[in-house]
Chains A and B, each alone.
Chain A
């Protein structure tokens, strides 16, 4: 799963609308996560962007995750509650002019049982009098996977990814983006802690170390539509279709209404996700198989997120302070150990443009 994060981070572009300074911008964010699977996560990040020259943007970021969990994964692994700190540092440089952008990023992530190095390259260019923007991205990530308190366990996981996208204004009030992403991962893709269960000859459950295929190719096509509604109000919507060669297929859709009022910005959003299981997934296997997983994220399930956000942007847009709250619900009809998950996230952000 950390691989998924790395791929997304590698392909994240630098375009933004937070306050942006003439010489530098400082961003600090913190968020908390809590769910009824006995998991709590605190995430904090600080990022700095600077413009040493008009067309050059350099950036640096540090993110830390503190996780405390006694979820069903932990219970079935017969271990106690665990706590963990993940640290991530990132640096990047971008060249930006009025119609073209090139960027390169590097990310290093470390936790006690996982090390990751990611390289990302991106570029985009406007065509047809800025009526069409085409963008390309590519990433490579290499991971060293370990297991806590087990120096003999050492696995590798590498992945390459690429993306293409097109952005165009469909009218004076509508902006559209369509993108295609592909990622191919090679190596150890199971959890070194989880065990899958199969029924033995007498009907008793027998635990087996999780084993997933070592190759996985993912495809995602995403359509995003931003529509200007009123004077300072916009509706931002998206639809994504995803398939991979493990048999997972999913659809994601969501929309966000953003309303501006003087120095304040209010928004509400809802996001819905539905997924079909990997072809080798079973809640309890009828017999031992080559590939066996206890990962509920590989089962069929649905989830919904709904949230609100309020931002205060004083000082001629040089400062922004925002608060957000999101609630979520997951339904796992194929995972008997956790039929549903209910939780919430809350965040606080500060952006200072110098």
Chain B
């Protein structure tokens, strides 16, 4: 697992990542992980009261140079 993470970091660091001018699609609102926090909160509310699991769906975002 550590080797996989290091490999990903090495690829990104080598300049093989997505260039700024290639990020037009990634910058669209539809590509965000949590495009509507309040709606996501209401949906997670339904799941969290009715299932035995919780966690893993926080907002995230960024990483595409779209800020």
Contacts and interface: CB of A to CB of B under 8 A. Distances in A.
Given A7-B54, A8-B44, A132-B12, A167 B63 contact: yes
Interface stretch (A75-83, A190-198, A203-211, A221-229): A221-229
B61 A13 contact: yes
A15 B61 contact: yes
A175 B26 contact: yes
Contact of B54 (A183, A224, A228, A238): A183
Interface in B1-57: 8-9, 12-13, 17-18, 20, 22-26, 28-42, 44-57
B37 A16 contact: yes
Contacts of A177: 33, 60, 63
Interface residues of A, number: 88
Given A16-B34, A131-B17, A172-B18, A7 B55 contact: yes
Contacts of A133: 60-63
Contacts, number: 233
The size class of the interface chain B forms with chain A is 35 or more
Prevailing SS type, chain A contact patch: strand
Given A169-B64, A220-B53, 15 more contacts: A8-B54, A31-B42, A43-B42, A45-B42, A131-B12, A132-B9, A135-B60, A163-B55, A167-B60, A167-B62, A175-B64, A220-B56, A226-B32, A228-B25, A242-B54
The 7 closest A-B pairs by CB, nearest first: A13-B59, A130-B65, A15-B61, A17-B29, A131-B17, A167-B63, A222-B56
Interface of B: 8-9, 12-13, 17-18, 20, 22-26, 28-42, 44-67
